[in-house]
């Protein structure tokens, strides 16, 4: 058991917009953060113990707030502390038809690279179609800020907002 898991049912993660980083906790209520983000019934995400930083100086904390609401469409991606926190039930239990592709994505202000696990046939359009999931998990993800390339973020899982994707490409080797 890691220390961060003791405070169930909350999960602390980094939420990114084009201009800010919010380190905050989400009350999970027996759900995974992916499920809460993908919940189509609401565009609001209630967060608590919020620590705000500007994207050009992401180590410095500008302000802290006990509670706040984030608008999901403005989140570009979320960095999770462990891989298990980012797996949806679909990804967790489907082991036979899964394949992995190295991908490169651009978002407003960010370039993201990492691994995408695909269930079934590779179809870029189908992956980006919102369907039931608004956020897709990118494993071993690395995010570079396009305006300040020295500013980078990484994590075992980055949940990328499909609506914010500008370019989506698969890296082909050899």
Shortest reach from residue 63's CB to another protein, in Å: 10
Binds another protein (CB under 8 A): choice among 15, 17, 23, 116: 23
Q: How many CB atoms lie within 10 A of CB 69?
A: 11
Binds another protein (CB under 8 A): choice among 151, 157, 158, 165: 151
Tell whether residue 152 is a contact of another protein (CB under 8 A): yes
Binds another protein (CB under 8 A): choice among 15, 135, 153, 168: 153
What's the order of all strands across the beta sheet hosting 10-16?
Answer: 63-71, 44-54, 20-27, 10-16, 77-80, 152-161, 135-145, 110-119, 98-107, 167-170
Tell whether residue 149 is a contact of another protein (CB under 8 A): no
Tell whether residue 41 is a contact of another protein (CB under 8 A): no
Report residue 170 CA to chain centroid gap: 18
Binds another protein (CB under 8 A): choice among 18, 28, 39, 49: 49
Shortest reach from residue 115's CB to another protein, in Å: 19
Span near another protein by CB under 8 A; candidates 4-12, 92-100, 109-117, 125-133: 4-12
3-state helix, strand, coil in the chain (%, to 5): 15, 50, 35
Tell whether residue 155 is a contact of another protein (CB under 8 A): yes
As to burial, measured by CB atoms within 10 angstroms (0-12 exposed, 13-18 middle, 19+ buried), residue 72 is buried
Tell whether residue 140 is a contact of another protein (CB under 8 A): no
What is the contact surface with another protein in residues (CB under 8 A)?
Answer: 1-4, 6-7, 12, 14, 23, 25, 49, 51, 58-61, 64, 66, 79, 81-82, 151-155
């Amino acid at each position: 058991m890691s220390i961060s898991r003791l405070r169930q049912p909350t999960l602390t993660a980094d939420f990114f917009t084009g201009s800010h980083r919010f380190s905050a906790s989400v009350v999970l209520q027996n759900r995974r953060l992916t499920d809460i983000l993908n919940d189509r019934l609401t565009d609001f995400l209630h967060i608590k113990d919020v620590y705000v930083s500007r994207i050009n100086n992401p180590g410095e904390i500008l302000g802290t707030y006990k509670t706040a609401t984030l608008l999901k469409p403005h989140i570009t991606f979320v960095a999770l502390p462990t891989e298990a926190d980012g797996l949806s039930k679909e990804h967790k239990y489907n082991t036979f038809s899964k394949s992995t592709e190295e991908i490169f994505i651009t978002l407003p202000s960010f370039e993201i690279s990492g691994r995408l696990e695909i269930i079934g046939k590779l179809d870029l359009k189908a992956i980006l179609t919102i369907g039931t999931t608004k956020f897709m998990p990118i494993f071993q993800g690395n995010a570079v800020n396009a305006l300040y390339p020295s500013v980078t973020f990484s994590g075992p899982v980055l949940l990328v907002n499909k609506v914010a994707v500008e370019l989506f490409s698969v890296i082909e080797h050899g």
